Amino acid sequence: MPSPGRSRPPTLDEVAERAGVSRTVVSRVVNNGPHVSRAKREAVEKAIRELGYTPNRAARALVTQQTGVVVLAVSGEGPEVFGDPFFAQIIVGASAALEKTDLHLMLSLATPVHGRQRLKAFLQTRGADGVMLVAMRGDDPLIDIAAQSGVPTVFVGLPMHGTPPFYVDVDNAGGSRAVTEHLLRAGRRRIAMITGPEDTAVGRERRRGYAEALLLAGLEPYAVEPGDFLEDGGAGAMRALLSRHPDLDAVVAANDNMAAGALRVLRESGRTVPGDVAVAGFDDLPVAVHTDPKLTTVHQPVQALGREAARMLVDLLDGAQPESFILPTRLVVRESA
C-alpha cells in the first residue's frame, strides 16, 4: 500500500530517489533484468516496500493511453522466417522477458508490400507502444516506418547503415575471426567463405572477421561465395566453390543453415569432412548437432538477443534511457573442423 497520507500511487522516479539509484536501475529491478548489483537491487526492493510501489502498467495505460502491445517486426516471407530456428529463438527470448509484465507481444511479418503497409498503419494509429526490428536488410522500409511512427524502437541486430540509439547485437566479426583462426591453427590454408546476404550488417561483419583472421596470418581471402542464410543457398554456394576452387581445404559458412547445405554437397561430391575439407558455421543452433559430422561453429546467445531487446524496450516505455550493447560469442569445436 502507498505510504500514509499519500493521495496517489508512488512513481518510478520516487522509488529511484529513495533508493539513490537511476530510473533505469529501478526499471531493471522491477522487470527482473540483469546488470544490477546486489546492493542496488536490495536498495530498490527496500524503497519499493517503504513506498508501497506497485508496477501496474494496465493502470498507467489509462493515463498514458498505452495499448499494452509491443511488436516484434521481421522483414521476410512466412515460410522463410518460421523455417529458420534463429527467429524462433528470438521470439522465445522476447516472450520470456515480457512474461512478468503486462505487455503483450505481437509478431509482425512485414512482407512486401502489404505487410509493410499494415504495420505502418498499425504503428501510426498507435496500435502498439513500441517495436523491435529484427534482421534489417539494406535500406529496409521498416526502419523509416518505425521512425516516422514515433514509437520507441529497439533494433535486434544493427542495421546496414548508421547506428540507432537503441540496439542489441552480437560480436559477429569477432566470432567469425575466432572460427577462422581455429581453422588456421589446424593447418588449413585454402579457406573459403560462404557469406551472408551482402545487404545485411551481419553478413558484412562476419565476412570482415574472416578476412581479418587471414590478414593477420599473412594470407589473402582464398575464395568468397555469397549466400542467403538458407540451407539450399549454402548448398548452391558450395557447388560453385568446388567448381572454381577444387583444392580448397576449409569452408567457413556465415551461419549453420548454410554450413549444413555445404556438408551435404561435400558428401555428394565424395569429399570427407574434416579429412579433405573442414567446415565451420555460425549460430550454434540445433542444426549444428544434427549434421553428420556435428558442426564446429560460433555460439551466439540468440535467446538473449530477444530477451535483452525486450527488456530494453520495457525500459524505454518506463521512461528510462538504456544503454545499447554487444553480446559476446564463443567458439564451439565439434567434429567438422
Residue 224 confidence (pLDDT): 97
- The CA distance from 313 to 322, in Å, is 9
Using pLDDT thresholds of 50, 70 and 90, give the confidence band for residue 56. Answer: low
Domains of the chain: 12-55 (1.10.260.40), 66-170+302-328 (3.40.50.2300), 172-299 (3.40.50.2300)
pLDDT, average across residues 57-77? 65
Residue 312 has pLDDT above 50, yes or no: yes
Note the helical H segments in 99-140. Answer: 114-124
Residue 107 confidence (pLDDT): 85
Going by C-alpha positions, the residue among 259, 83, 57, 76 that lies closest to residue 176 is: 259
Q: Per residue in 187-212, pLDDT tens?
A: 999 999 999 988 889 999 999 999 99
- The CA distance from 111 to 282, in Å, is 26
- The CA distance from 279 to 298, in Å, is 12
The pTM for the full model equals 0.78
